[in-house]
Amino acid sequence: MCGIAALQIRDVGLRASLGELMHGMLCGIVDRGPDSAGLAIYNDPTLTPAGTSTVTVLNAELTPDALAAALRDALPPAVGVTVTVTGFGETTLINAQIGTGALEDAITSILPGVQIAGRGEHAAVRKGTGHPLDLAELYDLRSATGSQGLSHTRMATESAVTAAGSHPFTVADDLCLVHNGSFSNHATIRRQLRAEGVTCDSENDSEVAARFIAWCLAAGDTLTTALEKLGSVFDGFYTLVVTTATSMAIVRDPIACKPAIIAETDAWVAMASEYRALAHLPGIESARIFEPAPGVVYTWTLDSTKELVTL
């Protein structure tokens, strides 16, 4: 069992409340996964300042100050490049005014083998082990603002309780995946992806799904098409939420063992494992509330378009 809660806000006036609303949603899914948790927040000007890249590393062996100093030495001496490094327990968030790839390269030159758990220009990923509400305090979730976010509470089944095994999985720029369920053929698909040159950095089944989607997107698929392909390749139980810089998609396996409920208003669309995570949202009384049908990919974009595709 795991918990998922995701929120996309279309009403620009409500985006200052993203963290507050997501905190309430997280409270509603704690019981489903008390061993670890993670968050992705999109377009928070403090976490992901405009014009910078943001990379998340796990269990960095340097203090934030030492890592920042090392990065300033390592980065090309471009005029005006500032580096910000902030520690959040097992997660360290690094911002710099250079491309994500260059920033990742600089980080791995300083910390060889370090696990990179987040990357992009819009998404800030933080995750770790411990009680989800303690982690929410550590990450100061209630102060977050932005356009969309997703959260996950984990009850581990397929791999160890570690920060690396926590969700979301962010294996390409601004692409985040959270999963409730378990895949039964992930080892086979991991081997196939490795043969294609894809690197996995945990033994987690959900990471393989994230790698698969990233691989499809890199080959030119849309998010919806990538999830359709996932449905034909992956075997197991899943409710997935996948976000990109501009969109949020939800899909359940055709047997629909794992729960999901969606609430939609003109101002926002929210998804959670259980209704009680949505009960506090503004305007929930008049929201359109429904369970996503089995085997259907639902995709919403920040410009308010919506797409439904049956697997």
Partner 1 sequence: MTLTQAPVHIETVDLAVSTVRELNQALHATDDGTSWVVDTPAGQHNIAVGIDRDLDLVVNGHVGYYFAGMHQKGRVTVHGSAGVGLAENIMSGTVHVTGDASQAAAATGQGGLVIIDGNTGARCGISMKGVDIVVGGDIGHASAFMAQAGRLVVCGDAGEGLGDSIYEARIYVKGTVASLGADCVEKPLRPEHLAELAELLTLAGRTDAPTDFRRYGSARTLYHFAAVNAAAY
Nearer to partner 1, 29 or 214 (CB): 29
Nearer to partner 1, 161 or 255 (CB): 255
Of residues 67 through 96, those in contact with partner 1 by CB under 8 A are: none
Residue 28 in the binding site for partner 1 (CB under 8 A): yes
Out of 278, 281, 297, 300, the only residue in the binding site for partner 1 (CB under 8 A) is 278
What's the angle, vertex CA 197, arms to CA 193 and CA 203, rounded to 5? Answer: 50
| Count of residues that bind partner 1 according to CB under 8 A | 16
Query: Residue 36 corresponds to which tokens in the numbers above?
Result: 């670890």
Distances (CA, A) of 63 to 38, 54, 67, 139, 140: 21, 17, 6, 17, 20
CB 216 within 8 A of CB 229: yes
Query: Residue 233 corresponds to which tokens in the numbers above?
Result: 């390749």
Out of 172, 256, 267, 296, the only residue in the binding site for partner 1 (CB under 8 A) is 256
Give least dist CB 128 to partner 1, A. 27
Query: Residue 96 corresponds to which tokens in the numbers above?
Result: 């710099």
Residue 283 in the binding site for partner 1 (CB under 8 A): no
Out of 78, 82, 194, 290, the only residue in the binding site for partner 1 (CB under 8 A) is 290
CB atoms within 10 A of CB 30: 16
Residue 20 in the binding site for partner 1 (CB under 8 A): no
For residue 55, give the nearest of 86, 112, 93, 24 by alpha carbon: 93
Out of 184, 279, 283, 310, the only residue in the binding site for partner 1 (CB under 8 A) is 279
Residue 302 in the binding site for partner 1 (CB under 8 A): no
Going residue by residue from 197 to 236, which x/- string records binding to partner 1, judged by CB under 8 A?
Answer: ----------------------------------------
* Listed ranges 61-69, 162-170, 174-182, 256-264: which one lies at the site for partner 1 (CB under 8 A): 256-264
Helix (H, G, I), strand (E, B) or coil at 218: helix
Cβ within 8 Å of residue 108, ≥6 positions away: 114, 116
Nearer to partner 1, 69 or 289 (CB): 289
Residue 155 in the binding site for partner 1 (CB under 8 A): no
Which of the residues are catalytic? 2
Task: Give the span between the Cα atoms of 17 and 304, in whole angstroms.
Answer: 19
Query: Residue 250 corresponds to which tokens in the numbers above?
Result: 């939800």
Residue with tokens 């075997």: 235
For residue 59, give the nearest of 144, 163, 137, 146 by alpha carbon: 163
10 DSSP assignment:
-
Residue 109 in the binding site for partner 1 (CB under 8 A): no
Residue with tokens 């494992």: 273
Nearer to partner 1, 72 or 280 (CB): 280
Out of 276, 301, 302, 311, the only residue in the binding site for partner 1 (CB under 8 A) is 276
Question: Where on the chain is the footprint of partner 1 (CB under 8 A)?
Answer: 28, 255-256, 259, 261, 274-280, 289-291, 294
